[in-house]
Amino acid sequence: MLIIAIVFFKQAFPQCTPMDSIACPDPENNGEVCPETLPGGIAGIAYESVATILPPPEVEFQPGVFIPLHHIKLTDVQNLPPGITYQSDSPDNIFLVGTYYCILLSGVPTVAGNYVLKIIVDIWAEGIGGGEPIWIAQQTDSTSLSIKIIWDPNAIDEPNDDSFHLDGCKPNPFIDRTRISFYSPDPAELSFDIYDLLGQIMYHQVFPAIRGENFIDLNGGRLPAGLYYYSISGAEKKLTKILIKTH
């Protein structure tokens, strides 16, 4: 099975630069995936992610039979979210063994959903006696890479008049400060938490909520720029939305 080392990270500029062996190591010399999940995006908001690719030096052609590779050629990336396109830093999409390359995924997604990508490559082996490379097969990468696109995190659902609901935060995206608003049908002790994309808690606060509209004024100056989940939770319910810090 062909394994491709892919590393994803957010970029603020339109061109991509591949990582190196320090940022994207390959200790077993067979390719790795780190991580498997692309950063999420929001419908209607510009999206960019970069993949750094290091082709594996060989492929298992038959059980126990390994063939040295010359290069792989990116043929297609299928099942991208509508509005997202891809391009690599190799004009012909040919990635030589032993060299790091990158793919830029960018655009404005238009439809929310969870998109499992299919990375399709042609595999080329070393030629006999140093001759022309030999095409072996076309393969679809099987690492279950995905992009999750959600609707605008500031959108307000239509709750029942007296239900526990989270109205969102404004501004969002924010630089240092933002205000989260929610409605509680009864006085309660609630938890406010912020998680990174790996599920690690970045901020935690317990506070008393009053009946009616409540507000949390967040000073997020110490949070690194990026996309986060935030939640308001009590004994019976947990509400979660997306928070974006730009600087």
What integer pLDDT is reported at residue 142 of this predicted model? 56
What integer pLDDT is reported at residue 33 of this predicted model? 53
What integer pLDDT is reported at residue 3 of this predicted model? 42
In one-letter notation, the amino acid at residue 195 is Y
How far, in whole angstroms, is CA 58 from its chain's centroid?
Answer: 28
Q: What stretches in the chain show pLDDT beneath 50?
A: 1-14, 156-160
User: How far is it, in rounded angstroms, from Cα 21 to Cα 134?
Assistant: 27
What integer pLDDT is reported at residue 159 of this predicted model? 47
Global pTM reads: 0.56
Radius of gyration of the chain from Cα atoms? 23
Q: What is the DSSP letter of 129?
A: G
